[in-house]
Amino acid sequence: MKVAAIQMVSGSDVQTNLDQARDLLQTAAQSGAELAVLPEYFCLMGQRDADKLAIGEAFGSGPLQQFLSDTAGSLGLWLVGGTLPLSCPEPEAAALGAGEAARVSNSSLVFSPDGACVARYDKIHLFRFDNGRERYDESLVLKAGTEPVTFDLPSKDGHLWRVGLSVCYDLRFPELYRAYASAGAHLMLVPSAFTYTTGKEHWEVLLRARAIENLSFVVAAAQGGLHDNQRRTWGQAMLIDPWGQVQAQQAQEAGVVLADLDFEVLTACRTRLPALQHRM
Cα(190)–Cα(238) distance, rounded to whole angstroms? 10
Please state whether beta strands 222-223 and 104-111 pair in parallel, antiparallel, or not at all (unpaired): unpaired
Cα(196)–Cα(71) distance, rounded to whole angstroms? 30
Q: Is 40 a catalytic residue?
A: yes
* Gyration radius of the chain's alpha carbons: 18
Work out the number of other CB atoms within 10 angstroms of the CB of residue 95.
Answer: 10
Q: Is 123 a catalytic residue?
A: yes
Residue 57 DSSP one-character state = B
Find, among 231, 221, 214, 220, the residue nearest to 275 by Cα.
214
Cβ-proximal residues to 267 (8 Å cutoff; 6+ apart), any chain: none
Buried-state track 1-20, b at ≥16 Cβ within 10 A, e below 16:
bbbbbbbbbbbeebeebbeb
CB contact at 8 A, 25 and 71: yes
Catalytic, out of 43, 52, 57, 123: 123
Q: DSSP 3-state assignment of 243?
A: coil
Residue type, 118: V
Catalytic, out of 34, 52, 143, 168: 168
Catalytic, out of 34, 40, 57, 138: 40
Burial class (CB in 10 A: 0-12, 13-18, 19+), 189: buried
Residues noted as catalytic: 40, 123, 168
